[in-house]
Amino acid sequence: MYTCSMDLKRVPKIELHLHLDCSLSYQVVKKLNPDVTFDEYKKTFRADWHCHSLLDYLARAVKGVELMQDPNALDLVTQDLFDQLKADGVIYAEIRFAPYLHLLQGLRPEEVVDIVDDSVRRGIERTGIDAGLILCTLRHFTKEQSMHTVQMVEQFKGRSVVGFDIAADEAGYPIDNHVPAFRYAHENGLHITAHAGEACGPHSVWETLENFYPSRIGHGVRSIEDPELIKYLVRENIHLEVCPTSNLQTGIYKNIHDHPADRLFNAGISMSINTDGRTISNVDLTEEYGKLRDNFGWGFDHFAKCNLFALEAAFISDERKGKIKDRLLEGWKRG
């Protein structure tokens, strides 16, 4: 066990891998459904410490998605997340969600994106946290849904929307339906990240790199199993969005000591530390940092470097990056 006197809550943070529909606080759930008790919330919105699989973990997002089906709910959840980020010391976040999951009450996908985009912009003004939106397709979506999602990334480019992602059951569905959408993103200069190397091993990361052209990989932790892949990631400066607690819950690793975050860092990988789903994993970035500090002896240099890696990999302009870097440096001086 290591100790460090850093006040981790005050450390300014950047979070790149954060699912909107997996991050509903009890307070906002209670507003949307007053009948939900805290015990029910813990049982249905949070994952067990060890789930049976990634699919078991993802099932905990269902209740949140069910609540996020009208403009008021989408706005409340987005503003609630900004409050969580503010309390956690986050100064820049990229928030991802799949617009096609929010059509059950008649909204069109473009309306969903417009509502969340507007809410993000108001959240930025209200809290001072800079943020971007990443639109997700999901592994089980059709070719048409994937293509429409990436076209919305292009349509809303220049507003809050900054990139394109694929998420959901990595092990259960092939990539075939989504190759045309990612080719479209690549050919049109859109920013790309993609979930891989989580439920499946290094072959999934190789397949994703070869077919989706990402500059970032969501999770990607199982890359550590292939030394040649690690060399490639370092050489090509592919950024890994690492989410330690989520990886433990989905059963990739039995305990934090087995997690490769420290080995990835020491291998020279560009990486960031993220929560994945703040509600499902019942964690914030302060706690994630604390686990790395207490179990691997991480200190200021580690967290500073990961945040600079994250800023470099962020899907925003150099001008915005410069302003955020100034805030990081000022925050570190104060801390």
Catalytic residues: 198
Q: Would you give the DSSP letter of residue 192?
A: B
Concatenating the DSSP letter of every residue in 85-127 gives: HHHTTEEEEEEEE-GGGS-TTS--HHHHHHHHHHHHHHHHHHH
Q: List the beta strands (DSSP E) in 109-258.
A: 130-138, 161-167, 193-196, 216-219, 239-242
Query: Going by C-beta distance under 8 Å and a sequence separation of 6 or more, which residues neighbour residue 104?
Result: 66, 69
Q: Considering Cα of 224, then 225, then 228, then 232, what sign does the dihedral take? A: negative
Query: In terms of Cα–Cα distance, which of 314, 208, 280 is closest to 43?
Result: 280
Cα–Cα distance for residue pair 60/189, rounded to 1 Å = 34
Query: Going by C-beta distance under 8 Å and a sequence separation of 6 or more, which residues neighbour residue 51?
Result: 57, 249, 250, 251
User: 13: which strand partners?
Assistant: 90
Max Cα separation, the chain? 53
**Cβ proximity of 160 and 196 under 8 Å:** no
Amino acid, single-letter form, for residue 42: K
Token pair 């200021």 is at which residue? 300
Q: Considering Cα of 94, then 100, then 103, then 108, what sign does the dihedral take? A: positive
Q: DSSP 3-state assignment of 226?
A: coil
Amino acid, single-letter form, for residue 140: H
